[in-house]
A and B are shown apart, each in its own frame.
Chain A
Amino acid sequence: AQSVTQLGSHVSVSEGALVLLRCNYSSSVPPYLFWYVQYPNQGLQLLLKYTSAATLVKGINGFEAEFKKSETSFHLTKPSAHMSDAAEYFCAVSLGEGAQKLVFGQGTRLTINP
């Protein structure tokens, strides 16, 4: 069975600092991996996704993530945090079969300090 673990339910960084949100997955077969962002009182929006084309994936708003099979990780990074990045971030995994059911991590709330 697939599962996703996000390390750290809350992460706080200063504006301009590096953002690193951690995600580890377990899957018996090569998975598809996603990062979604949820701004307050809104639905989820796709940041980026890994579908085996390239291990370093670039997304919207300056975010990127690297798929590391040996570490079963898909950590999300952004070189310089902006106040508008404050949100909750979810990592998700799918086997891509049939209806592509997503299994989500617990979420990480990112706070940006001025």
Chain B
Amino acid sequence: NAGVTQTPKFRVLKTGQSMTLLCAQDMNHEYMYWYRQDPGMGLRLIHYSVGEGTTAKGEVPDGYNVSRLKKQNFLLGLESAAPSQTSVYFCASSPLRAAGNSETQYFGPGTRLLVL
């Protein structure tokens, strides 16, 4: 199993350009997440999905859109990139939660994005 994969690994954008980050998981997980990591701030949740065709906002959703057309894929879009979106983006997935438990999130290797 590849686990969670992310495409691309690194990208440079100019302000105003758009792009889509792709996350794929082969573990048949129900839940998927997009985080951004900035120095001194840990990881912050951008958007998440509890199943195919569903998405919801996280802590820092502004400037991003997501789609989950297939269970195994979760796309993160930037319609008009801004320098403040320079960050490392991580995708994660987790299985359905068993009652009285909390499931582990499995992370991809990250996408480093630089917006000039």
User: Interface residues, chain A, CB within 8 Å of chain B?
Assistant: 4, 9, 32, 34, 36, 41-46, 49, 51-52, 90, 94, 96, 98-107
Instruction: From known contacts A49-B102, A96-B97, A100-B31, infer whether A42 and B41 are also in contact, taking CB-CB under 8 Å.
Output: no
A43 to B, closest residue via Cβ? B107
Residues of A within 8 A of B62 (CB): none
A105, B42: Cβ atoms closer than 8 Å: yes
Contacting residues of chain B (1-54) with chain A, CB-CB under 8 angstroms = 4, 31, 33, 40-45, 48-50
The size class of the interface chain B forms with chain A is 20 to 34
User: Which one of B33, B40, B102, B105 contacts A106 once the chains associate, using CB atoms below 8 Å?
Assistant: B40
Residues of A within 8 A of B84 (CB): none
- Looking at chain A's contact residues, the main secondary structure is loop
B42, A49: Cβ atoms closer than 8 Å: no
A32 to B, closest residue via Cβ? B102
CA distance in complex: A106, B37 (Å): 10
A103 CB to nearest B CB, Å: 8
Residues of B within 8 A of A42 (CB): 109-110
Taking each of B41, B43, B45, B49, which has the highest tally of chain A beta carbons within 10 Å of its own beta carbon? B43
Complex interface bits, B73-92 against A, C-beta within 8 A gives 1, otherwise 0: 00000000000000000101
Contacting residues of chain B (57-116) with chain A, CB-CB under 8 angstroms = 58-59, 90, 92, 94, 97, 100-105, 107-110
A104, B44: Cβ atoms closer than 8 Å: yes
B43, A90: Cβ atoms closer than 8 Å: yes
User: Which one of B58, B94, B108 contacts A43 once the chains associate, using CB atoms below 8 Å?
Assistant: B108
CA distance in complex: A101, B50 (Å): 11
CA distance in complex: A86, B45 (Å): 25
A-B pairs with beta carbons under 8 Å apart, 18 shown: A4-B42, A34-B104, A42-B109, A43-B107, A43-B109, A44-B43, A44-B90, A49-B102, A90-B42, A94-B102, A96-B101, A100-B31, A100-B97, A100-B105, A102-B43, A104-B42, A106-B41, A107-B42
Instruction: From known contacts A43-B110, A51-B101, A51-B102, infer whether A99 and B48 are also in contact, taking CB-CB under 8 Å.
Output: yes
CA distance in complex: A105, B109 (Å): 19
B107, A106: Cβ atoms closer than 8 Å: no
B10 CB to nearest A CB, Å: 10
